[in-house]
Each structure stands twice: as structure tokens, then as C-alpha cells.
């Protein structure tokens, strides 16, 4: 069963004032999909995804995870076992004396046997390309920035979530670090069938990796569709303060010059394929 949001709204209250951060959102997150969530700062992206494991509760509507209601306190432990949450700068979540202990913290809290904990730690560290021999007994605070991020992610993966929610997981990383994380997420999805729900400001990353894109605007769903369909709304996205992937911008410039470049070009591969066809014509 998928994650289902039914007329989800969330309002923050500060004394006499209130702020409706999410307004009447209904959607279904499919099993095994890569869903990217984009929108301008303050549009409700983070508030929305924090409802997926019951970290925030709806002011109205409901969230169902495999049929379990996040509003039911007794069901939340099961929901959080299904939905792993990785916050922006996840390395700030590291705390244990060794990487092995940090990665094993979640499985230990799940009351698993020592043998199962050891298996999951080894499995998760392998998934994020941190070798047990080199990193297991190191302090997390001795690691590089990219290694810390992978160790923090391993701690979530060790719980074997069915859904993985990431809020700006590449923030502050260099291009190679970003690509390493994205490649790892794609491999995780292929190997385990885990759904990926990722908040991102990188339109290039979103265009290349997402099956669908959810565009939030002032707490509401503006678009929910494939990258090609979403990025074909270039004028509307620009008005919302969102940049377009570089290939989209190049295609737009070509159209201004009279070249019939399709409006649904959104990745480098799309652009290269179009230019190759034009050169051969």
C-alpha cells in the first residue's frame, strides 16, 4: 500500500497569529517511485514531508502510511519503522563514539538481536560505501563532510525503511559529493524497491532522477507530474521564483532563435538527443 495524503492542512500558531503552511493537499506517493518536492523558500515543502512519518500531525485531513494513520499514537512506531527521515545536514544527527554504534542505534531501539543489528550495520555501511574495516571503529566526528553524511544516512538505512524521506540531502556538498549521494539513492531504490521522497532546490538533480515532481506554491500543490511535463511550464515556474534546469534554458534560447526545440527538454540527454537529430537532418 502507498502513502496517502487526504486533504492535509497544517497551520502554525504563534500567539494571536497563524500561518497556514500546507493547505488541503491530497496525493498518493507510489511504492518504489522517486518523488521530488520543489518550490520557493517558505512554500511548505518541509512542513509537508514532516507529516509523512508523524513528526508533524495534520491540523486537518489525514496521512495514511500503508493504511496506518499518523494521528494514531499507537501506530506511530510502526509508521516510523516504515518511513525513514533524513534532515538537512544529517551529519548533525551523529552522536555516538563510533560509526558502528551510530549506525546501529536505530536497529538497537527496534529491540533486534545483536546478530541482526550487526548484519544491518554491515549492510547499511556497504550501501553508502563506507567499509567496515576502515570506518566502523572511527569516531563519526573524524570523518569528512561527505563521509559524515553517508554515515548518518546509513543509520537510517539500517532500519530498512520502505519509504525514505530526504530534506535537501545534498545541501553544502560539492558536485561530486552530490552525485555520490544521488547515485547511492538510485542504487538503493533498485536494490530494495524503497520509495525516495526528496526535497531539493537543484533542478538539474530533480530533472535527471525523479519519476514525478511535486511543485508546492504557498502551501498548495501547483503541479504533480513527470519532469518533462512540469518543466514545460517554464513561464509559470519562473513566476514562482524557480529556476529551470540548464538544458531547459538552452532549449528556450534555441526557440527564441527560431529553432523548433521541444518544450519538454529538461535533461542533458534530452538536449543532446535533439541536437544530434538536428545535425543529422
Q: Which residue has the cell 500567539?
A: 15
pLDDT digits (tens, 9 = 90+) for 99-144: 999 999 999 988 899 999 999 999 999 988 899 999 999 999 999 8
pLDDT at residue 94 is higher than 90: no
Catalogue all structural domains in the chain, each as residue range(s) with its CATH number.
3-244 (3.40.50.300), 245-281 (no CATH)
35 has which bridge partners? 197, 212
pTM, two decimals, is 0.89
Contact predicate 105/152, CB 8 Å: no
Which secondary structure element, helix H or strand E, spans residue 99, and what is its range?
A: helix 99-109
What local confidence, expressed as pLDDT, does residue 220 receive?
A: 96
Nearest residue to 150 (alpha-carbon basis) of 112, 93, 200: 93
Residues 105, 259: Cα–Cα separation, whole Å? 56
Contact predicate 65/28, CB 8 Å: no
Give the highest mean pLDDT range of 4-18, 79-93, 169-183: 4-18
CA 212 to chain centre: 12
Contact predicate 180/172, CB 8 Å: no
pLDDT digits (tens, 9 = 90+) for 174-187: 788 788 888 888 98
Amino acid at each position: 500500500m502507498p502513502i496517502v495524503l487526504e486533504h492535509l492542512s497544517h497551520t502554525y500558531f504563534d500567539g494571536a497569529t497563524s500561518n497556514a503552511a500546507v493547505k488541503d493537499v491530497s496525493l498518493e506517493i507510489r511504492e518504489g517511485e522517486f518523488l521530488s518536492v520543489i518550490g520557493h523558500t517558505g512554500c511548505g515543502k518541509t512542513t509537508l514531508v514532516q507529516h509523512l512519518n508523524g513528526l508533524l500531525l495534520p491540523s486537518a485531513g489525514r496521512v495514511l502510511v500503508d493504511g496506518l494513520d499518523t494521528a494514531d499514537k499507537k501506530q506511530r512506531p510502526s509508521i516510523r519503522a516504515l518511513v525513514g527521515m533524513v534532515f538537512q545536514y544529517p551529519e548533525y544527527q551523529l552522536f555516538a563514539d563510533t560509526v558502528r554504534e551510530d549506525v546501529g542505534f536505530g536497529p538497537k531501539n527496534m529491540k533486534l538481536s545483536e546478530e541482526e543489528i550487526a548484519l544491518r550495520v554491515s549492510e547499511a555501511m556497504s550501501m553508502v560505501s563506507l567499509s567496515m574495516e576502515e570506518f566502523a571503529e572511527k569516531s563519526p566526528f573524524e570523518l569528512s563532510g561527505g563521509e559524515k553524511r553517508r554515515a548518518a544516512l546509513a543509520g537510517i538505512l539500517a532500519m530498512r525503511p520502505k519509504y525514505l524521506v530526504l530534506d535537501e540531502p545534498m545541501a553544502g556538498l560539492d558536485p561530486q559529493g552530490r552525485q555520490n549521494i544521488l547515485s547511492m539513492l538510485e542504487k538503493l531504490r533498485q536494490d530494495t524497491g524503497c520509495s525516495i521522497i526528496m526535497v531539493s532546490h537543484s533542478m538539474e538533480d530533480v530533472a535527471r532522477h525523479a519519476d514525478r515532481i511535486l511543485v508546492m506554491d504557498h502551501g498548495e500543490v501547483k503541479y504533480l507530474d513527470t519532469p518533462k511535463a512540469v518543466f514545460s511550464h517554464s513561464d509559470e515556474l519562473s513566476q514562482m521564483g524557480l529556476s529551470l534546469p540548464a538544458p531547459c534554458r538552452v532549449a528556450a534560447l534555441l526557440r527564441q532563435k527560431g529553432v523548433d526545440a521541444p518544450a519538454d527538454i529538461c535533461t542533458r540527454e534530452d538536449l543532446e538527443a535533439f541536437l544530434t537529430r538536428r545535425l543529422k537532418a
